[in-house]
Amino acid sequence: MKKMKKIAIWLAVISIIVFVIAWGVVGVKILDNNYNYTTEAYIAYGSLAVFFVCLIYVRCTSRCPHCGKLRVLFGKYCPHCGKEIK
């Protein structure tokens, strides 16, 4: 479980790097008056999707440091013990 989370974080980092590179390539192509960048755009959107999936996965598998139960997606307080999650 912990290993999976590490993989998800790494995948998120890699996907955001791929996203930046893909848009960089698109930018270079536009500057070069080449508007044939559909593949790069798909890669960029694909990597963004991977990034969000990883982000949600990491958030979903995060546990409350106080009671150890799974915490909600974007809540500031634990729904089980009511303590604030930093």
| Residues at the contact surface with Zn ion, assessed by CB under 5 A | 64, 66-67, 78, 80-81
Residue closer to Zn ion (CB basis): 28 or 69: 69
Q: How far apart are CA 39 and CA 83, in angstroms?
A: 46
Give every CB contact of residue 1 below 8 A, 6+ residues apart in sequence: 61
Least distance in angstroms from the C-beta of 54 to Zn ion: 24
Least distance in angstroms from the C-beta of 86 to Zn ion: 12
Least distance in angstroms from the C-beta of 64 to Zn ion: 3
Residue closer to Zn ion (CB basis): 26 or 64: 64
Q: How far apart are CA 22 and CA 27, in angstroms?
A: 9
